[in-house]
């Protein structure tokens, strides 16, 4: 006679493997490499720094210049 198996556990195991397979495919298809993430973070920091450097001082914003 064959071994007794728990169908619920077998179904869960099968579902888990299909989810893991799909996740691996999505990582390849949509994922970014570590270098891409680092480059994007660096570019964002540079853009934020440039924006902050062009910001007007508070006293020039509140007090209009009188010529």
Question: What secondary structure does DSSP assign to 12-59, as a single string?
Answer: HHHHHHHHHHHHHHHHHHH---HHHHHHHHHHHHHHHHHHHHTPPPHH
The pLDDT score that the predictor gives to residue 56 is 80
The pLDDT score that the predictor gives to residue 9 is 95
Model's pTM, two decimal places?
A: 0.47
What's the mean per-residue pLDDT of the chain?
89
Give the C-alpha separation, 62 to 41, whole Å. 33
pLDDT at 53 over 70: yes
Give the C-alpha separation, 25 to 30, whole Å. 8
- Mean pLDDT throughout 25-35? 91
């Amino acid at each position: 006679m064959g071994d007794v198996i728990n169908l619920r556990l077998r179904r869960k195991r099968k579902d888990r493997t299909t989810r893991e397979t799909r996740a691996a495919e999505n990582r390849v298809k949509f994922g970014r490499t570590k270098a891409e993430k680092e480059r994007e973070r660096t570019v964002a920091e540079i853009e934020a720094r440039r924006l902050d450097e062009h910001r007007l001082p508070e006293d020039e914003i509140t007090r209009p210049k009188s010529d």
